[in-house]
Amino acid sequence: MRSLKPTVLLVEDERAQRELLTYNLRAEGLEVNCAENGEDALLMVAEVPPDLIILDWMMPLLSGIEVCRQLKSRDETADIPIIMLSARSEDLDAVRGLDTGADDYVVKPYSVRELLARVRTQLRRTCSATTSAAMRFEDITLDPERHRVIRADQELKLGPTEFRLLLTLMERSGRVFSREQLLDRVWGQDIYVDTRTVDVHIGRLRKALMQWGGSDPIRTVRGSGYALG
C-alpha cells in the first residue's frame, strides 16, 4: 500500500550525501526511497512512480541525464518533476540538463535548506491545481484538473513546469510577464532560480505548443518578458 505522504526518489551514488538528504527530507514529512545508480532508479520508478525525483547527474552505470531523458520520453513518467543535482556549474551544463527535461537544476555544493525549498515548491505546484475550470486561448484548451492541454484537437505533451508556465500565461492572456514575475509564479518566491531558466522552459513550451503545427502563440517582448497573444 502506497504511503499517504508525498514520495521522493533520491538517486545519489555518494553515501554521505544520500544519508544527509534522506534525513532532511524525512524531517520534512516526506517518504524517501533511495537508488545508488541510474539503472536501479528506472526500475524503482517503473515499479512505484514517486511524486518527485532528486537526480544526481554523475552516476555509475547510467548518468542522470540519460535517466532524465528516458523518464521524460515516457507518457507514464513524463509528468514526474525532476530536480537535477550536479557539480557542473557552467551555464551550458544547466541548459543541457533543463533541455533534457529536468524541471530544476541545483549546483553542488548546495544549501540543503534551499534544496528543500525547491522540493516543496515542485510538490506544491504538482499536487495542487490552481483552478478546476478549463481555460481557452484561441485553439488551445488547458484543463488544470485533468492536467491536459489540447490544441487543434490534438493532445500536447507538456512537462509540469511548462504546464504551469502556460497556465500562468493563459490566466492573463495578452499581459506581458517579466522573467522575474514568471519565476515567482511558477517556481515560487522562496527559492532562487536564474532568470535564464525561464527562457529555457519558454523554448520548451513553444516547441510543445507547435508539435502538431500551428503558429507560435507566445510573444517575446524584448527587454520586458513574455505574453500569450
Residue 28 CB coordination number (10 Å): 14
Which pLDDT score, from 0 to 100, does residue 218 have? Answer: 95
Output the CA–CA distances (angstroms, integers) from residue 193 to 14, 114, 124, 168, 189, in the order listed.
25, 10, 17, 17, 10
Per-chain mean pLDDT for the chain: 85
**What is the phi/psi pair of residue 32, to 5°?**
-125, 125
SS3 224: coil
Which pLDDT score, from 0 to 100, does residue 15 have? Answer: 93
Under 8 Å between Cβ of 206 and 186: no
Which pLDDT score, from 0 to 100, does residue 140 have? Answer: 92
Match 499581459 to its residue by C-alpha cell.
175
Model-level pTM?
0.60
CA 170, 211, 196, 145 torsion-angle sign: positive
- Closest by CA to 59, choosing from 106, 100, 107, 11, is 11
pLDDT in tens, 62-119: 889 999 999 998 888 888 999 999 886 666 666 776 778 888 888 888 889 999 998 9
Residue ranges of the chain with per-residue pLDDT less than 70: 1-4, 88-94, 97, 126-132, 189-193
- Closest by CA to 149, choosing from 214, 202, 209, is 209
**What is the phi/psi pair of residue 174, to 5°?**
95, -25
